Amino acid sequence: MERAAGGEKGWGPLRHPFLSLALFPVLLGLTVAAIGELGLLRVGNGFLFDLAVARVSPEKPQVLVVRAEPEDAARITERLRGLGADGVMLVLPDASAPVPEGAVAGVQPDQHPRGEVWVLPAKPIGRVAAEIVPPGQRTTRRFLLWLLGEDGPIPTLEGIVTTGISSHPERLAGLPPGEIMPVLEGAQVLAGHLPPGSLTGLIVVVGPPAFQDAERYRVSTLPGAPMVSAAEFHARALQSVLTERTVIAIRGLPSAVLLVLFALLAGAIGGLAPLRRQVPGIVLAGALAVAGGMALIGTAGLLLPLVEIILIALVLALRAAFRKQAAIRRKLLLLGDRSAAQLRSPHRIPDEERWAEFFSAAARLTGVENSLVLSESAEGAFHPLAVFGAPLHESGSPEGSLARSRDFDRADAVPGAPVIASGIGSRGDVQVVRLNSRGEAGLYWVFTTPQASAERDHVQAAAGRLARHALERLDRARPHADWQEPEDRLDRALSGIITRNHEVARAFAGLQAAIILFDPAGVPLQANESMERLLQKAGLSLSRTTPVDFAVAAAGLEMEDARRTLGYLVRHGGQARLGTRTQIGGRHYTVRAARIEGDLLFEVNDVTELERLTRIEAELAGEIDAKLRNDLEAITLATRLAADERFAPERRTRALQMIAQAAQRAGGTLRSLDHLVESSLFENETRAYPLNPRSALDRALARIGPDAERAGAHVRVHQPELVSLVLAEPDQLDCLIEAMLQIIVSDSSRGSEIAVDLIERKESSEIAMQGGFGLPAARFADSLHAPQQDHRSPFRILQRAMRQLPAWGAELTAQSDVGQGYRFVLRLRKT
């Protein structure tokens, strides 16, 4: 008893998961089997059957069709017997048609209850059969070889003329749509021109031709299958029986058992496989079962319930997909709950390193030394989220017990604007600023400022800009926030800032130019080492520099001009060259400003060496110009001389030789010029900045949109919501994407589709596009590499951009073939 009880206890926890694993598949298998028995999936299975049969190669015809009216049936039957026909089947349109003596008469068995109309004798009489097929009556590929009569099995018409009795009466005839049946007219048979014995070995189906659609039967469910008369349909069915192309459809209990077994197998894959392999596993099991089933049609003459199997696999795969989503969601919620709990804990400061990193950057940029970020609970208590530098409670406010004072009310009045927190810092050096909008639990940044008033004003202004920046980002994150807690949003917003700063810093570190990036509020966000050295040389402080100050000092602009130019850039975007030969520390620099991703970027290039090279290039270009002019002069003069009849023929020949000489020399000069230009002039212009590839793609799509509309092509764009920054030169990337799109659009026909995808890879982002009719591969390769005369040709733009790609660490793959269209994949390196 104890063992039994223990056994029950032991089974208790096991039975439940096993049942839950098996119950659904069993029920599903039985349900789908019942649906199949009702005939609701018959069309689908018929289609798969026809599909398998269509691949069978046609065999030698063993059945002949004779088109004849019913009144001639008896005479023709007699004649066919004389010609040696192995069997004759009459397809009669109605019961009143004369039936030859000895023929079996009947109707389609599924049209009448068994034993009601059948007048078949217990034994077949000869091999002549007649079937009455009234016009409009349905003829199907499903037929019976025999029926069970009172005295035993009674063969049907197909059974009489072919094999007679077999163990399984119901068959499906495989009718390949491409099969050709030999046809004779009744008159040809009666005319007596056919030699005796010419039909030996053939079974002949005699029936009237079909003149109306109602009298015709489609031989297959496949598209384009022919419509034939009832006689020909029977002939094809007989051919199928004689060539052993009939199959037995698995139905009833065997079908239900098979489906339940498959459902259990697929259900086990769905329940036991790792989460990410469940759906592919079920789909694979379904595909293998269907492929096996298709193979069985030809090899074993069995038709499994294939559509039922597909249906089961589909339901189980969807169930697994939903369960996967639910599991991921559960995990995320769990993770979120844990993170939120950690964040709210008054005893723990989450991600200290990350917060420290942010405020370290903030201190460097703004001059703030001590920082405290506080969140306010619903009860009005403050909890510190992050502390950096000296603890602020030294100023009189112990950590964790800050009470709401008037300072916070004043900070609430204008979020993003720092106010002096006299209640916290007795010396007036502590300020507080609200980091989120009103209407939700408050987030505050408390920080100290230096004692000196000039320093204090500056730090206060810089911290204010930073706070407004954070406020703006928090508000921007609001519509997408899954978590409603403001500190969560702050955490995410700061994560965004830090991640982006990392990406930008990594990118800038690799650049030769000195770079500084300001946010729209004028706060310096990033500067690389070259810039820090340059600022030091120019006597500027990184934390104090504003874009206008920088433009004045580095580019030598007047204050008003700098304001106007930079204001225009911030409002309208684009880029501007601010100074061409600014001299700092004895070297020459160019200063360029550009709006990138909403921020303002300054790039300072040391052009001292470049200027020297430019001078050399100008001299070289002058020499080449002089050489070319000499060549042109020679060609001009020689051309006239060659046509001047006052010269002897040998001197005119000499003039022609001189033309060739001069042309050859000019060609050499041009080639050297081309090399000079391509190898040095443009390479010096190559630059790469971190930028959002999605914005570049959107801009190019907007520009190409009207052309695509005119061409009637549909542009399908698929791109992720968030993408990483990549390295490229903004203008040239825009031109490159537009050129690729232009090539495809100009080759697209009305109604065609152009697919554009932005795909995130581990190390890169890919812009892939495909469409158009395409060029032959060789011609396309030629267009990509041969010189293009037209400056506006997209291929020329493509060629020029391709030369810049190595400097960006990018790659372009281009393919084309006639009818296949163009395919471009631009792989851009992530920062």
Partner 1 sequence: MSTTRILLVEDDPLLRELVEMVLEVEGYSVACADNGAAGLEQAERDAFHLVILDLLMPVMDGMRFLEEFRRSAERRPPVLVLSASTTPDMTDRALRAGAAAVARKPIDQEELLGLVRSLLEREQSEAGTGNAGKSNGGA
Residues forming contacts to partner 1 in the complex (CB under 8 A) are 622, 625-630, 632-638, 640-641, 644, 646-647, 651, 655, 658, 661-662, 665
Residue 616 CB, shortest distance to partner 1, in Å, is 17
Comparing CB distances to partner 1, the nearer of 302 and 637 is 637
Comparing CB distances to partner 1, the nearer of 200 and 657 is 657
Comparing CB distances to partner 1, the nearer of 635 and 802 is 635
Residue 632 CB, shortest distance to partner 1, in Å, is 4
Comparing CB distances to partner 1, the nearer of 626 and 786 is 626
Residue 619 CB, shortest distance to partner 1, in Å, is 11
Residue 641 CB, shortest distance to partner 1, in Å, is 6
Residue 640 CB, shortest distance to partner 1, in Å, is 4
Comparing CB distances to partner 1, the nearer of 629 and 785 is 629
What Rg do the C-alpha atoms of the chain give, in angstroms?
44
CA torsion angle for 500, 506, 507, 512 (degrees, to 10)? 140
Measured distance CA(143)–CA(233) in Å, rounded: 12
Comparing CB distances to partner 1, the nearer of 541 and 636 is 636
In 3-state terms, what secondary structure has residue 756?
Answer: strand
Residue 675 CB, shortest distance to partner 1, in Å, is 21
Comparing CB distances to partner 1, the nearer of 31 and 630 is 630
Measured distance CA(158)–CA(169) in Å, rounded: 11
* Residue 78 backbone dihedrals phi, psi, to 5 degrees: -60, -45
Asked if 544 and 523 count as a contact pair (C-beta separation under 8 A), the reply is no
Inter-CA distances, 614 with 420, 608, 611, 671, Å = 56, 10, 5, 19
Residue 674 CB, shortest distance to partner 1, in Å, is 20
Measured distance CA(607)–CA(587) in Å, rounded: 8
Comparing CB distances to partner 1, the nearer of 340 and 676 is 676
Comparing CB distances to partner 1, the nearer of 466 and 638 is 638
Residue 672 CB, shortest distance to partner 1, in Å, is 16
Inter-CA distances, 187 with 79, 87, 130, Å = 11, 19, 20
Measured distance CA(695)–CA(734) in Å, rounded: 9
Inter-CA distances, 4 with 7, 293, 407, 820, Å = 5, 45, 74, 71
Comparing CB distances to partner 1, the nearer of 21 and 641 is 641
Measured distance CA(621)–CA(763) in Å, rounded: 42
In 3-state terms, what secondary structure has residue 776?
Answer: coil
Residue 676 CB, shortest distance to partner 1, in Å, is 18
Contacts of 462 (CB under 8 A, 6+ apart): 365, 366, 367, 368, 523, 543, 544
Q: HSE-up of 173 (CA within 13 Å, CB side)?
A: 24
Residue 633 CB, shortest distance to partner 1, in Å, is 4
Inter-CA distances, 326 with 313, 330, 484, 733, Å = 20, 6, 21, 41
Comparing CB distances to partner 1, the nearer of 386 and 655 is 655
Residue 776 CB, shortest distance to partner 1, in Å, is 41
In the beta sheet, which residues pair with residue 64? 204
Comparing CB distances to partner 1, the nearer of 529 and 619 is 619
Among 594, 599, 561, 560, which residue's Cα sits nearest to residue 577? 594
Residue 658 CB, shortest distance to partner 1, in Å, is 6
What is the DSSP track for 267-297?
A: HHHHHHS-HHHHHHHHHHHHHHHHHHHHHHH
Helices 306-344/486-509 angle, 10° precision: 100
Q: HSE-up of 199 (CA within 13 Å, CB side)?
A: 28
CA angle 743, 786, 793 (to 5 degrees): 35
In the block, which residue shows the tokens 């059948």? Answer: 118
